[in-house]
Every structure is written in C-alpha cells, then in structure tokens.
C-alpha cells in the first residue's frame, strides 16, 4: 500500500535524471503507472465488501504520533479508483494532446506527483500525514496551472490558487491540531471512537470552522471559489484531472470523511447547507453567462461541488447516498466534457461556444461522447446522472419544512448545470459547420477514446445500476454515514413527484438552452458587477495588506543609515528610561570616591571644551585639533590612574589618527551644512537623552561591587606562570595570546585595505571605457 | 573624580551620537571616534580608579605586595583602542576614496546603486 501511494513520487523524482535518455518513450512509460495502480485498487473491491475497512500502518515519526497509516474503506476506495482511473485516461490523452511539447517529461512528472499526493490524501488515516499530502496537491496544482510559465496570466492564476488553497491548508492544520488535543490522537480510526467527546467539547466550534475553511478553499466554495475559473489557464488535461474530477473534490472528501466523526450537529449541517446552496446557485447562474467553454465548465464544476457540500450538509442517509453517487457521476461526465473541450480547442483553436457548431460532421466519436456526457449531466434517464439526480430530489423532498425551498434551489441549480452541459457537450457539434473550422478533423484515437470510454461508463452504470450498487456505492455509503442500511438503486421509480421534478428540470433546461443563445455581449454585461465580486474583495484585501507592508517597510527601512540609528537608539532610550523610571537606585559612597585635584579639573574642563568645539565648529581643522585634544586628555586620565600601557597606546594612536585625518582633509570638499535646524535640534535632544542615560547607567553599574577574582588570578600568577611583571602585557600576550594574534590579523587586514585604497587608481572614466 | 569622569563619558556618548547622525561623512567618523573614546573610558572607570599603582611588579618581586590597579579592564581597553584605530583609519581612507570617485561627502547622495552613478 505504501508503495502504491509513493510510486508517483518516485516517478516524478526520476524525471529530471533520466528523462533525457528516454525522451521518445515517455508517453508510453508514464500511463503504465496509473493504469497499474487502477488495476491494483480494483482488486480491493471484493475485500471492501466483506470488511468494513482495512488499515495499513508504517511508522514514520512515532514520537509525535505521526505515522504513514492508510485506511481503505468505501469512500477512500471510490476516490482512489477515480484518481487512478481518470488519471489513466488523462495520462493517455496527454500523450497526444501535448505531443512533442518541449516539457512533456516535466508535465508527466508533475502529474505523477499530483496523483501520488491525491492518493495520499484520500488514503491517509493519520490526519497529519493527510495534511502533508493535502499541501502537496496544492503545490503540484500550482506547478500544473502555471505550466505555461511564459504567460503572466497563467502565473498569476497559479499563485492565486496556491495562496487560497494554501491558506485553507493552514487553517485545516490548526483544526487538526485542535482535534488531536481534544480527541487524543491523529488517527482518524481512533478518533471515531471519541466522536461524542469531541462534539461536546468547547473547541468543537473551532475545529469545524477551521476544517471548513480548508475544505471550502480546496473545493472552491463561495466566497473562495474564484481561483478555480482562473485555474483554467492550465492545459486541458490538468483542468480535467485536478480541477473537476479529483483535487477539487478533496474538500468534499474531507467533509464526507468527517461526517461520521463531527457531523450531525446544528452548526455542521447549517453551515454546509448554507454555503453549499449559495455556491451552487451562484455558480449555476454564473455559468450560463460565460462564452468560453472552459469557463462554463469551471462554473458548472463549482456548482456541482456546491451541490455536494449541500448534500453532505443535509446529512440524511438519502442525501449522503445522493452525494456518493453524484461524486462518481459528476467525475465521469465532467471529465468527459473537459476532455472534449480540449479536443475542440486542439482541433479548431477556439473555445468560444457562441461560434462553435457542426463539428459532428468531422469528429463523430467525439460528438457521441459529448452527447452522452451532456445528457448525463442533465440527468436524462438511462444515464448515471439520472440516478444521482433522482436520489438527490428524494433527499430534499424528505426534509419537512425546508423541503420546498431547498428543492427549488436544487432544481434551479440543476437547470443551470443542464444548460452548461448542453453548451459544452451538444452545442459545438450540431448545426452547420462554420467555414473557419473546415480544416478541423478527427484527432488521434488517443484523444477521443478516453471521453468516449467515460461516456460508456456513464451509460453502463445508468442502465445497470446493480453493477456498482453492491460493490462500490454500498461501502461508500456505509463509510460516509456509518449506518448499515442496505441501499437499492433502481432506474424506474414509478410516476411520482420526483419524476415530475426531473421532467420539470429537463423541460425548463431544454427551453432555456433553446432560447438562450450564448453571446459575448451578455458576458460583458456581467462584468459591471465585477467590483463587488468576492474575487475583487479578497484580492483588494490582499493588495491593501501589501500596500500597508510597503508603507511600513518604507517607514522603517528607508535606506538612510541615520534613521536606522535614530530608530534603534530612540527605542533603546525609551525602553531604558521606562526601566529607570521605576526608580533609580543610586547611593554614592562618598568615601570611595577619589578626591579631585586641580590638574584633573583642568584636564576635565579642557576635554569638555574640546568636545563642544568639535561638535559645533564648521571648520574641519578645528574639529580635528579638538579631536586630538580629546584623545590626549583621555590619555592623561590613563596616566593619572595607573595605566601606563593604555596611555602609550592611546597617545601613539591619537597622533596617527590626527595625522591621517589631516592628510585626507586636504582632498575633501568644503564643509557644507546639510541639516536643517529642526533636524539638528531633534538629533541634539536624542543625543543628550542618550548621553544622560549612559551616564546614569554608568552610575548604577558603578554601584555594584566589582568582583576582582579574575584580576587577582591574573595578577597572582603573572610572574609565577608567565614570567612577566607587567600584568596587562601578560594578559595580552600570554593568557589571551591567541586573541591578540587574531587582533593582529584584523589590523593587518585593515592595513591592507587602507594601503590598497590609497594606491589603487580606480579612475571611473577609465573603467567604463 | 569619578563623577566628573561619568559626566565626560555621558558627554562623549552624546556628542558621538550627535555627530554620527550628521550627513557629512567626516563628522560621522568624528562621532565614531568619540563613541569609541567614551566606551573606553567607561570600561576603564568600571575597573575603579587607583592612583599611581600600575599593575606592574617591581623588579625582583614575584607577587604584588601593595594594592594595584585592575589589569583586566586595561587589557580590554588596550585591545579596543587598537581595533578602534584599525576601523578609524580604514573609514578615513574610505571617505577619501568615496570623495575621489563620487565627488561628494554627503551620505544621502550615496543612496543609489552603481547603475545610477
């Protein structure tokens, strides 16, 4: 099982290393992967029927309870079959669709990676592992949407999709963590036992809210739906696979999976029904205003996802059964419609539904597939869509006081989906072939066989529902509802209200299709409401955030060094003052203070005057002389207070600095005054505050008794260990000799820098020429 | 005396910061030197002031018999002075160089990348 899941990753990993050797063989190698996986999963059909679920556990990070454990039951098997089955068709289809594309190998790599991640999502029992696979699907979807990476619109859509689904993923992660802390495990199977505890805990609201955000973003529910139409920038096989059949259903899977664990509460059902209903109606209305085939299909997909959320929200056995069948029915017909759209686009170069017509004259098999898919989406009898629609109507009609309104909404949505399906599956094929499409011809069977096969499946399951009832739908239903009810699917229910509704849907939809000619003009009219669409509002919000970040950055990172210094020091001063405000604790012990003699006063006064001079003068020479005086006065302090080495060093270095300055001074321009008076005052105030603060801090530190153990050790052992009588020298060259050596290295580097800067003649005009 | 030194330390820091905030690179370096001097004095002061008793043993002695000034801050300050000199000299030469290439002493005119020069 583990190998089955990660095989796709292995394939994807091998691509960059081996693809160049097998360039020609790639379209033949890759489809083997999903086909063999499909066969592998079909083999589980029998086992699932007899046992409720199967667990496969592989240890991964046991210390935090994260295992690679997989749970196979009806629901996950249905998804696994869809992922590998439709995957197989898409892989085959791609071989021709992107024939001779430069990056075909890369494309297959991304697809394999996606397939493996998606399998991981639906099979994982450990919620943490599921989250990782979940994020991986978002990432591979990002690569696939942005596959045409030369197109800016494509890149933008990819980024939008990634941000929306990534945001949802993070919310879901928080939800999972809270769930774990309440339920005590990451394992879904173990959590199932503590369902009641979780539902009654105070965090229940948080858990479902966060999980909902994850599911709604992934499954494109209102108001997060807008990334999905944008994702149609991807090549058509991707739209088929990720954005209609599998990935967008991950959110549905999540909700269905958690229904037995978290479902059947007021907030769970209420939220899902509301969001699902808004989404399905909103998107159904939207879809009939579009003219681009992929756009129409995208909105009708959103609408279908809305129906699924809506049904899971209703949560009765009938509704869950309807959801289970509809997942399959929708995957079969919508994938077919997308593949057909891809063929039309491939052969005619157009996806404009208002122009396309009469293509059945040139591509009959495609037209047949299109008809079947469109009829299945409409819910015409003898097709799988019909059965799912019947069950859905039964489910909403059973609801007592809410029955009427919910049924009306569902019928409305179904009408919209019908029109969208007819436009995509029938409209391009009937009527007269426009002359501009004369060159279109029947493509290779690799292209038309997959949609036709899907159509045949829709038809087969529709006519003989018993083919799937017991083997697939029953386990799916049991794992979603947790109930043991034996289900019966029939093609013919007799004359009743449900059938009447079906007929009503068909007639209304048919009439609407007949009278509503898709037109560019009407699509343009909808654009005027663009400013209040969720897409605009959310994007506006994120732009606003970006704007704020830019202002923030500009304010603090404005590129002026002194502003950084001001910010840092002002903050430091503020912080310290706040601390000192709480009480300065200075008790000077006047006995310890050394007496002041007259020559010391002179030096101090001299120093203060020179500092003030250096600051205020406008003449460079005066400033340098004042600097020298400050240095020498400093030197005198060292002399007074027993530091002969310091005095010598300071003396020589000060002399050197002054000399160097004088040398450079000659080359510098005249001193100009750059700053305004206001700035000077501001800086002066800040500097004074800073100075006072340092002085107070020094006083405070001075209060602390100085510990001289280290000094004592050095002094006591200076001669005994190091044979030196000058302790400072011994410290520098012996105890800390290594430091001094490194310091010397630093000085050498500085010297080399100084020397080369002086000597190197870097004349810019010469360099440019 | 300590009080006076503390006032000087505060003044050196204040003056140094003020100069550091000027736009002229020349003044900036003076500010840097002042800050360095202030910090050195600060460290030195915290080793306590001892008059006329350098941490040097008299000839023939193997240990100190009298009190002596704390050698550790002195060693630290000595290192700081030397390293500070490396920094200062490099900075001084650098502004000379900058002026030679760009004909300016104004920090704000250095605010662009190479291409715009």
Asked if the Cβ–Cβ distance from A630 to B2 is below 8 Å, we say: no
Residue A29 vs residue A167, higher pLDDT: A167
- On whether residue A257 sits in a domain, the answer given is yes
The answer to whether residue A526 is domain-embedded is: no
CATH code that applies to domain B2-116: 1.10.287.3510
How far does A610 lie from chain B, in Å, by closest CA?
Answer: 11
Same domain, A121 and A235: yes
Residues of B within 8 A of A630 (CB-CB) are 12, 34, 37
Q: What is the pLDDT of residues A166-209, one digit of tens each?
A: 899 999 999 999 998 888 888 888 888 888 888 888 888 889 99
Whether A85 and A129 share a structural domain: yes
**Does A275 lie in the same domain as A251?**
no
Half-sphere exposure of A287 (CA within 13 A, CB side): 34
pLDDT at B102: 74
Give A473's DSSP letter: I
ipTM (interface pTM): 0.89
Q: Chain-wide mean pLDDT for chain B?
A: 82
Listed residue (A423, A407, A406) closest to A509, CA to CA: A423
pLDDT score for A671: 61
Mean pLDDT of chain A: 83
Are A271 and A182 part of one and the same domain?
A: no
Which residues in chain A have their CB less than 8 angstroms from residue B111's CB? 559-560
Q: Is residue A232 situated within a structural domain?
A: yes
CA dist., res. A128 & res. A178, Å (int): 12
Give dist(CA A222, CA A310) in Å, integer.
12
Task: Say yes or no for a CB contact (<8 Å) between A699 and B12.
Answer: no
Whether the ω angle into residue A223 lies within 30 degrees of 0, i.e. cis, is yes
Find the range with the poorest average confidence among A297-301, A354-358, A560-564, A758-762.
Answer: A758-762
- Of the partner residues B7, B38, B88, the one whose CB lies closest to the CB of residue A657: B88
Q: Distance between CA A74 and CA A84 in Å, rounded?
A: 15
Residues A160, A203, single domain; the answer is yes
Q: Per-residue pLDDT for A368 more than 70?
A: yes
**Binary contact (B23, A675; C-beta < 8 A):** yes
Q: Do A719 and B79 touch (CB under 8 A)?
A: no
Asked if B70 lies within 8 A of A719 by C-beta distance, the reply is no
With CB atoms and an 8 Å threshold, state whether A725 touches B81.
Answer: no
- Contact at CB, A687 and B74, closer than 8 angstroms: no
A377-413 per-position pLDDT tens digit: 888 888 888 888 888 888 888 887 788 888 888 888 8
- Measured between beta carbons, the chain B residues lying within 8 angstroms of A749 are 86
- Closest chain A residue to B50, measured at CA: A641
Q: What are phi and psi of A264, to 5 degrees?
A: 65, 40
* Nearest alpha carbon to residue A314 among A391, A251, A383, A220: A391
**Residue of chain A minimizing CA distance to B54:** A642
Count of C-beta atoms within a 10 Å radius of residue A613: 17
- Kindly determine whether residue A686 and residue B9, on different chains, have CB atoms separated by under 8 Å: no
Q: Give the domain extent around A121.
A: 1-261
Q: How far is A759 from chain B (nearest CA, A)?
A: 10
B45 to chain A, closest Cα gap in Å: 8
Q: How far apart are CA B1 and CA A594, in angstroms?
A: 6
- CB-nearest to A695 from B10, B50, B77 is B10
Evaluate whether residue A466 is within a structural domain: yes
Contact A649 B18 (CB under 8 A): no
Say if CB A115 and CB A87 are below 8 A apart: yes
Q: Which of A715, A716, A768 best tests the B interface by mutation, with the highest count of B CBs <10 A?
A: A715
CB contact under 8 A, B3 and A634: no
* Residue A31 tokens, joined: 């489809």
pLDDT above 50: residue A769 = no
Q: CA A398, CA A134: separation in Å to the nearest integer? A: 35
- Residue A521: pLDDT over 50: yes
Contacts of B64 in chain A (CB under 8 A): 715-716
Single pTM value for the model: 0.70
pLDDT of residue A768: 44
User: Helix or strand or coil: residue A494?
Assistant: coil
Nearest CB partner across the interface for B17, out of A559, A664, A690? A690
Count A/B contacts: CB-CB distance under 8 Å: 275
DSSP state of A471: I
**Residue A334 and residue A252 in one domain:** no
Residues of A in contact with B19 (CB under 8 A): 614-615
Can you give the residue ranges of every domain in chain B? 2-116
Q: What total of structural domains would you count in chain A?
A: 4
| Residue bearing the bigger pLDDT, B99 or A693 | A693
Interface touch B17/A701, C-beta < 8 Å: no
Q: Which residues of A touch B26 (CB under 8 A)?
A: 620, 623, 668, 671
Inter-chain touch A594–B51, beta carbons under 8 Å: yes
Residue listed under structure tokens 């774990």 = A180
Residue A532 lies in a domain: no
Which of A611, A664, A731 minimises the CB distance to B12? A611
CA-based nearest residue to A423, from A342, A330, A509: A509
d(CA A292, CA A350): 9
Please tell me the distance in Å from B115's CA to the nearest CA on chain A.
12
Query: What residues of B are in contact with residue A699 (Cβ under 8 Å)?
Result: 6
* Token code pair at residue B93: 């030469």
Q: pLDDT band at residue A733, thresholds of 50, 70 and 90?
A: confident
State whether A53 and A135 are in the same domain.
yes
State how far residue A178 is from chain B, nearest Cα, in angstroms. Answer: 49
Positive or negative, the Cα torsion across A550, A556, A561, A562?
positive
Q: Which of A590, A602, A615, A767 to mutate to test the interface with B (most CBs of B within 10 A)?
A: A615
Which token pair is A526?
A: 């909808």
Q: Which residues of chain B make contact with A762, given a CB cutoff of 8 A?
A: 101
A312/A255 same-domain check = no
Do A32 and A83 belong together in one domain? Answer: yes
With residue A56 as reference, give the H or E element that holds it. Answer: strand A54-61
A584 part of a folded domain: no
Q: Minimal Cα distance from A690: which residue of B?
A: B14
Q: Residue A475 pLDDT more than 70?
A: yes
Residues in chain B: 117
Cα A344 from Cα A359, distance rounded (Å) = 9
Give the per-residue pLDDT at A759. 79
Residue A692: list chain B partners with CB under 8 A: 10, 14
Rounded-to-integer distance, Cα A392 and Cα A389, Å: 5
**Closest residue in chain A to residue B92, using alpha carbons only:** A661
Residue in A98, A387, A102, A39 with CA at minimum distance from that of residue A238: A98
On the question of pLDDT at A604 being above 50, the answer is yes
Quickly count: other Cβ atoms within 10 Å of residue A251's Cβ: 28
Residues of A in contact with B85 (CB under 8 A): 653, 656-657, 747
Residue A561 counted as domain residue: no
Q: Are A115 and A84 in contact (CB under 8 A)?
A: yes
Q: Answer yes or no: do B33 and A627 touch at CB < 8 A.
A: yes
The string of pLDDT tens digits covering residues A634-653 is 899 888 888 888 899 899 99
Report the residue from B18, B72, B89 with minimal CB separation from A615.
B18
- Whether A725 sits inside 8 A of B2 (CB atoms) is no
Do A330 and A231 fall within a single domain? no
User: Last residue of some domain: A215, A238, A261?
Assistant: A261
Same domain, A645 and A749: no
**Of A232-236, A368-372, A701-705, which has the strongest mean pLDDT?**
A368-372
Confidence band for A537, pLDDT divided at 50, 70 and 90: confident
Residue A591's contacts (CB-CB under 8 Å, 6 or more residues apart) are none
Domain end call among A261, A295, A329: A261
Written as one string, the DSSP assignment of A600-628 is: HHHHHHHHHHHHHHHHH---HHHHHHHHH
**Res. A767: pLDDT tops 50:** no
The last residue of one of the domains, among A484, A518, A552, is A518
Asked whether the beta carbons of residue B78 and residue A630 sit closer than 8 angstroms, the reply is no
Q: How far is A577 from chain B (nearest CA, A)?
A: 15
Tell me which residue has tokens 């000597």.
Answer: A759
Residues paired with A54 in a beta bridge = A72
Using the beta-carbon criterion (under 8 Å), do A637 and B5 form an inter-chain contact? yes
Tell me the pLDDT band of B34, cut-offs 50, 70 and 90: very high
Q: For A70-84, A142-156, A547-561, which range has the lowest pLDDT when averaged over its residues?
A: A547-561
- Closest chain A residue to the Cα of B88, Cα to Cα: A657
Which among A600, A623, A641 has the least Cβ separation from residue B30? A623
By CA distance, what is B59's nearest residue in A? A725
Question: Which chain A residue lies closest to B36 (C-alpha atoms)?
Answer: A631
Asked if residue A334 and residue A196 are part of one domain, the reply reads no
Residue A752: closest CA among chain B residues belongs to which residue?
A: B90
């Amino acid at each position: 099982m583990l190998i089955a899941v990660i095989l796709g990753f292995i394939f994807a990993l091998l691509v960059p290393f081996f693809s160049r050797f097998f360039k020609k063989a790639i379209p033949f190698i890759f489809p083997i992967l999903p086909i063999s996986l499909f066969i592998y999963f079909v083999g589980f059909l029998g086992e699932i029927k007899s046992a409720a679920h199967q667990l496969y556990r592989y240890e991964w990070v046991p210390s935090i309870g994260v295992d690679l454990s997989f749970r196979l039951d009806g629901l996950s098997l249905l998804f696994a079959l869809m992922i590998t089955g439709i995957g197989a068709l898409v892989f085959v289809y791609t071989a021709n669709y992107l024939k001779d594309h430069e990056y075909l190998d890369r494309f297959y790599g991304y697809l394999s990676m996606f397939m493996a991640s998606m399998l991981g999502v639906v099979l994982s029992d450990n919620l943490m592992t599921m989250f990782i696979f979940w994020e991986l699907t978002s990432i591979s979807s990002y690569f696939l949407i942005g596959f045409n990476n030369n197109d800016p619109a494509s890149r933008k859509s990819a980024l939008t999709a990634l941000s929306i689904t990534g945001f949802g993923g993070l919310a879901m992660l928080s939800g999972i963590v809270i769930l774990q802390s309440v339920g005590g495990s990451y394992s879904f199977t173990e959590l199932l036992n503590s369902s009641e505890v979780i539902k009654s805990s105070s965090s229940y609201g948080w858990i479902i809210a966060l999980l909902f955000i994850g599911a709604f973003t992934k499954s494109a529910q209102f108001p997060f739906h807008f990334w999905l139409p944008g994702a149609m920038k991807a090549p058509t096989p991707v739209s088929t696979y990720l954005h209609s059949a599998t990935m967008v259903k991950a959110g549905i899977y999540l909700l269905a999976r958690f229904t037995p664990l978290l479902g059947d509460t007021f907030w769970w059902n209420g939220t899902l029904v509301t969001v699902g209903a808004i989404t399905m109606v909103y998107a159904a209305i939207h879809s009939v205003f579009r003219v681009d085939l992929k756009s129409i299909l995208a909105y009708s997909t959103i609408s279908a996802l809305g129906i699924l959320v809506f049904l899971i929200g209703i949560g009765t056995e009938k509704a869950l059964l309807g959801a289970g069948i509809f997942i399959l029915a929708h995957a079969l017909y919508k994938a077919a419609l997308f593949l057909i759209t891809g063929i039309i686009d491939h052969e005619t170069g157009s996806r404009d539904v208002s122009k396309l017509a009469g293509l059945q004259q040139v591509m009959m098999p495609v037209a047949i597939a299109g008809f079947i898919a469109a009829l299945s989406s409409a819910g015409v009898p003898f097709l799988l869509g019909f059965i799912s629609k019947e069950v859905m109507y039964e489910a909403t009609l059973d609801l007592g006081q809410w029955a009427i309104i919910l049924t009306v909404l569902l019928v409305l949505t179904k009408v919209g989906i019908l029109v969208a399906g007819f436009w995509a599956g029938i409209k391009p094929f009937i009527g007269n072939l426009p002359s501009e499409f004369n060159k279109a011809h029947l493509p290779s069977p690799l292209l038309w066989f997959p949609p036709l096969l899907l159509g045949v499946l829709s038809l087969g399951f529709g006519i003989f529902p018993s083919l799937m009832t017991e083997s697939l739908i029953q386990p799916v239903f049991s794992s979603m509802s947790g109930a043991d009810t034996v289900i019966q699917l029939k093609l013919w229910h007799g004359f009743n209200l449900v059938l009447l509704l079906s007929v009503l849907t068909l007639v209304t939809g048919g009439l609407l299709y007949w009278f509503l000619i898709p037109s560019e003009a009407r699509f343009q009219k909808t654009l005027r409401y663009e400013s209040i669409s969720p897409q605009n509002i959310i994007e506006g919000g994120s732009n606003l955030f970006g704007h704020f970040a830019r202002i923030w950055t500009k304010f603090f990172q404005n590129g002026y060094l002194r502003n950084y210094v001001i910010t840092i020091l002002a903050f430091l001063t503020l912080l310290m003052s706040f601390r000192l405000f709480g009480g300065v604790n200075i008790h000077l012990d006047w006995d310890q203070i050394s007496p002041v003699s007259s020559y010391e006063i002179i030096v101090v006064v001299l120093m203060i005057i020179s500092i003030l001079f250096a600051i205020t003068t406008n003449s460079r020479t005066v400033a340098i002389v004042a600097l020298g005086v400050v240095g020498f006065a400093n030197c005198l302090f060292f002399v007074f207070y027993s530091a002969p080495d310091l005095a010598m060093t300071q003396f020589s270095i000060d002399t050197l600095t002054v000399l160097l300055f004088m040398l450079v001074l000659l080359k510098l321009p005249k001193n100009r005054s750059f700053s305004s008076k206001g700035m000077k005052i501001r800086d002066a105030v800040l500097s004074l505050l800073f100075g006072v603060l340092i002085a107070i801090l020094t006083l405070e530190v001075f209060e602390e008794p100085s510990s001289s153990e280290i000094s004592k050790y050095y002094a006591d052992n200076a001669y005994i260990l190091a044979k030196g009588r000058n302790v400072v020298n011994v410290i520098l060259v012996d105890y800390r000799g290594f430091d001094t050596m490194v310091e010397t290295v630093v000085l050498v580097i500085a010297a080399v820098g100084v020397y080369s800067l002086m000597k190197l003649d870097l004349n810019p005009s010469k360099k440019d020429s | 005396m300590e009080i006076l030194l503390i006032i000087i330390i505060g003044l050196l820091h204040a003056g140094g910061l003020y100069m550091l905030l000027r736009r002229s690179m020349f003044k900036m370096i003076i500010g840097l030197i002042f800050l360095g001097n202030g910090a050195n004095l600060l460290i030195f002061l915290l080793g306590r002031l001892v008059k006329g008793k350098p941490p040097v043993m008299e000839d023939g002695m193997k240990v100190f018999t009298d009190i002596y000034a704390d050698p550790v801050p002195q060693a630290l300050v000595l290192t700081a002075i030397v390293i500070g000199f490396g920094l200062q000299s490099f900075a001084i030469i650098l502004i000379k160089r900058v002026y030679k290439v760009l004909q300016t002493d104004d920090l704000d005119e250095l605010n662009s990348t190479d291409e715009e020069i």
